[in-house]
Amino acid sequence: MKHLLKLLDLSKEDILKILNLADQMKYDLQNGIPHKVLEGKTLAMIFQKASTRTRVSFETGIYQLGGQALFLTHNDLQIGRGEPVEDTARVLSRYVHGVMIRTFGQNEVESLAKWASIPIINGLTDFAHPCQILADLMTIREYLAALEGVKIAYIGDGNNICNSLIVGCLKCDMKVSVATPAGYEPDATVLEFAKQYPNHFTLTTSPEEAATAADVLVTDVWASMGQEDEAAKRMKAFAGFQINDTLLSIANKNAIVQHCLPAHRGEEITAKVFEAHAKEIFDEAENRLHAQKAVMALLMGGAVS
Ligand code: CP
Ligand code: NVA
């Protein structure tokens, strides 16, 4: 594993290696055991979209590992004035030890990786959010003790979170049911991938069908960053694709709820369900830190003691 561009590139073993190290990172942080495996190393973080969790967890994470982060906005870099990605990649490779990028196009991230000689980490594109799903898998394993055979239901937009969730969960032998309105399905490449798992994957337009007997219910905003102009149209299309008490009553009795955040109460999730499941949701947010420390240690640090 040289980069983290999308979960489609990772094997089940790669994912489990990250999750196991993430568990260790979490235990060690809680018990005051340091891991200075990135001493003297720098992560450049390029943001073309807003962020709370990704920015703070990467910046804090590399600091805890002994390194430092540079926060760079797309618009302040020459890349925002048209400097080619291939040049930016080669320049940054001479200064820093890794790049985390949050942008629109997956092609930009792939092309950075093609031209850079250092690891590239996808901090969210319109296509994928691999760091988020690693934290989700870590959280699900914490609550349910295993991943194999666990049924996860995703309700809402077939967006970046949905795409990565399908891939990550299927690779870990989970059962995945996705409910989206017609016209808002996950990416075609992800649906093609899911065909390899005919007994583990279903796509429906019925939230009730997807949620039946689920161990984990997941949702995300109806309008992602960059889709603000279509928000009104989306509010109409997604009505009914909400995690609420009715949907939870169809899921397994002890089902957990995950949300990558930020959440829009009253849209994709009710305030009541959100607060009743706040512990799981904020554990999920916390696990971004541990999962990403594991990713950085593996990609940028080599051996971890
Ligand atoms: N879930 C997530 O990536 O949050 P931010 O947009 O705040 O980074
Ligand atoms: N789907 C959301 C996720 C935010 C973390 C977005 O892309 O805006």
Question: Which entry of 3, 35, 97, 102 is annotated as an active-site residue?
Answer: 102
Buried b (16+ CB within 10 A) or exposed e, 196-210: ebeebbebeeebeeb
Active-site residue 55, yes or no?
no
Catalytic-role residue among 126, 136, 157, 220: 220
280 close to 119: Cβ distance less than 8 angstroms? no
pLDDT at 305 over 90: no
CB contact at 8 A, 60 and 82: no
Report how far ligand 1's centroid is from the alpha carbon of 51 (Å).
Answer: 5
SS3 162: helix
With beta carbons less than 8 A apart as the criterion, state whether 211 and 149 touch.
no
Nearest alpha carbon, ligand 2 atom 2:
224
The residue ranking higher by pLDDT, 81 or 305, is: 81
The vertex-212 CA angle with 161 and 256, nearest 5°, equals: 55
Q: Which ligand is nearest to the CA of 123?
A: 1
Annotation marks residue 30 as catalytic? no
Alpha-carbon dihedral sign for residues 24, 102, 224, 148: negative
**Residue with the larger pLDDT of the pair 303 and 54:** 54
Counting residues of the chain whose pLDDT is more than 90, the rounded percentage is: 98
Query: Can you tell me the distance from the alpha carbon of 100 to that of 24, in angstroms, rounded to the nearest whole number?
Result: 22
DSSP-derived 3-state class of residue 102: strand
Other Cβ atoms closer than 10 A to 146: 11
**170/152 Cα distance (integer angstroms):** 10
pLDDT score recorded for residue 302: 66
Q: How far is the CA of 260 from the centre of ligand 1 (A)?
A: 7
For 1-17, give the DSSP string. Answer: ---BS-GGGS-HHHHHH
Is 288 annotated as catalytic?
yes
Ligand closest to CA 161: 2
Mean per-residue pLDDT, 109-117: 98
Q: What is the mean pLDDT of the chain?
A: 97
Question: From the CB of 24, is ligand 1 less than 6 Å away?
Answer: no
Task: Tell me the pLDDT band of 303, cut-offs 50, 70 and 90.
Answer: very low
Residue whose C-alpha is closest to residue 166's, from 180, 152, 156, 183 = 152
Span 22-66, pLDDT tens digits: 999 999 999 999 999 999 999 999 999 999 999 999 999 999 999
Closest C-alpha among 59, 77, 75 to residue 67: 59
Ligand nearest to the CA of 222: 2
Residue-wise pLDDT for 65-85, tens only, equals 999 999 999 889 999 999 999
